[in-house]
């Protein structure tokens, strides 16, 4: 790790965090970052999407060194990251979720790996769940067949080999290796990638934007690597947990946008109809269970969520 800070005064790393009403998690994330810099010249940019909690007050009082960019509305994850990327000055950029924590020397390891491997454009760390267990964060690009199984009610019935390929279950989790894409909760990229392919596609409000970005990077020749010796903690979904129905709509719209870009409009339309049918069937099942008095409040809430998804039509811009 002797390559860090090659030029005096140069910023090695720009860390970009998009925050919405997760002040306490954000505070823990920032504390872990500043503990783990270990000589790195780094800047931290927080783009706040109109948080109504004490996020801004906490930042100004506890982390005045953070560059805070405030917005009067929730601008979304992808657009927020592009705002931060446009302001970043580092040799490498690191979009990072606010519900993560850096473990040990993960930042210096990731920067050093990029510096020592000039063909690698993006690296993602080994990720732990809140309880310390392994969180799958490396992937291969999805196939057409996988689209009808992954994250639908059919997933438990998918061929094992299909899911193992997508989730990279055919390799041990502690193996550093080339992959197709890494989870967007923490992915570090060299600046040249951003300058070559541009920012995140804002057609994805959230979800699948990192898969799209890695696809574009690989299309122009960059490698994507899962770096098993760099570790982070990811509590997972704390901002999106606040808007469950909206989360499901955005997830599926993003999925459809990706498949439309890669496999064409006709396939995306077929997939959209399948996903809507999937939600219609689930709504019917939940309605019948509620009618029979089985956990009625839960069934009513699920019917409401699924109805919102159906009303959206899962239309993709």
Burial environment of residue 312 by CB neighbours within 10 A (0 to 12, 13 to 18, 19 or more): middle
Tell me the pLDDT of the chain (317 aa) as tens digits: 444 444 445 899 999 999 999 999 999 999 999 999 999 999 999 999 999 999 999 999 999 999 999 999 999 899 999 999 999 999 999 999 999 999 999 999 999 999 999 999 999 999 999 999 999 999 999 999 999 999 998 999 999 999 999 999 999 999 999 999 999 999 999 999 999 999 999 999 889 999 999 999 999 999 999 999 999 999 975 544 445 788 899 999 999 999 999 999 999 999 999 999 999 999 999 999 999 888 888 889 999 999 999 999 999 98
Strand partners, 42: 13
Task: Give the helix, strand, coil percentages of the chain, each rounded to 5.
Answer: 45, 20, 35
196: alpha, beta or left, given left = phi > 0 and alpha = psi -120 to 50? Answer: alpha
Q: pTM of this prediction?
A: 0.91
Pairing of strands 13-19, 92-95: parallel
pLDDT value of residue 205: 86
- Do residues 174 and 228 touch, judged by C-beta distance below 8 A? yes
């Amino acid at each position: 790790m002797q390559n860090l800070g090659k030029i005096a005064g140069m910023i090695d790393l720009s860390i970009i965090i998009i925050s919405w009403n997760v002040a306490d998690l954000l505070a823990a994330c920032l504390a872990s970052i500043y503990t783990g810099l270990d000589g790195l010249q780094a800047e931290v940019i927080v783009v706040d999407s109109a948080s109504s909690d004490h996020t801004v007050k906490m930042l100004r009082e506890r982390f005045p060194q953070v560059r805070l960019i405030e917005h009067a509305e929730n601008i979304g994850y992808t657009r927020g990251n592009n705002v931060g990327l446009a302001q970043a000055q580092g040799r490498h950029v690191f979009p990072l979720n606010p519900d993560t924590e850096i473990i040990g020397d993960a930042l210096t390891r990731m920067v050093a790996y990029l510096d020592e491997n000039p063909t690698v454009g993006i690296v993602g760390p080994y990720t732990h769940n809140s309880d310390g267990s392994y969180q799958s964060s490396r992937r291969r690009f999805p196939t057409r067949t996988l689209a009808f199984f992954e994250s639908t009610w059919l997933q438990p019935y998918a061929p094992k080999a299909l899911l193992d390929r997508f989730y990279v279950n055919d390799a041990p989790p502690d193996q550093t290796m080339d992959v197709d894409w890494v989870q967007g909760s923490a992915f570090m990229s060299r600046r040249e990638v951003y300058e070559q392919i541009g920012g995140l596609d804002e057609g994805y409000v959230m979800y699948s934007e990192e898969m799209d970005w890695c696809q574009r990077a690989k299309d122009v020749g960059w490698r994507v690597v899962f770096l098993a010796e760099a570790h982070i903690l990811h509590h997972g979904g704390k901002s999106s947990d606040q808007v469950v129905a909206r989360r499901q709509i955005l997830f599926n719209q993003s999925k459809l946008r990706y498949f439309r870009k890669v496999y064409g409009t006709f396939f995306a339309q077929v997939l959209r109809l399948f996903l809507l049918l999937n939600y219609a069937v689930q709504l019917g099942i939940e309605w019948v269970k509620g009618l029979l008095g089985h956990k009625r409040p839960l069934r009513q809430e699920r019917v409401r969520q699924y109805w919102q998804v159906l009303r959206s039509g899962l239309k993709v811009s």
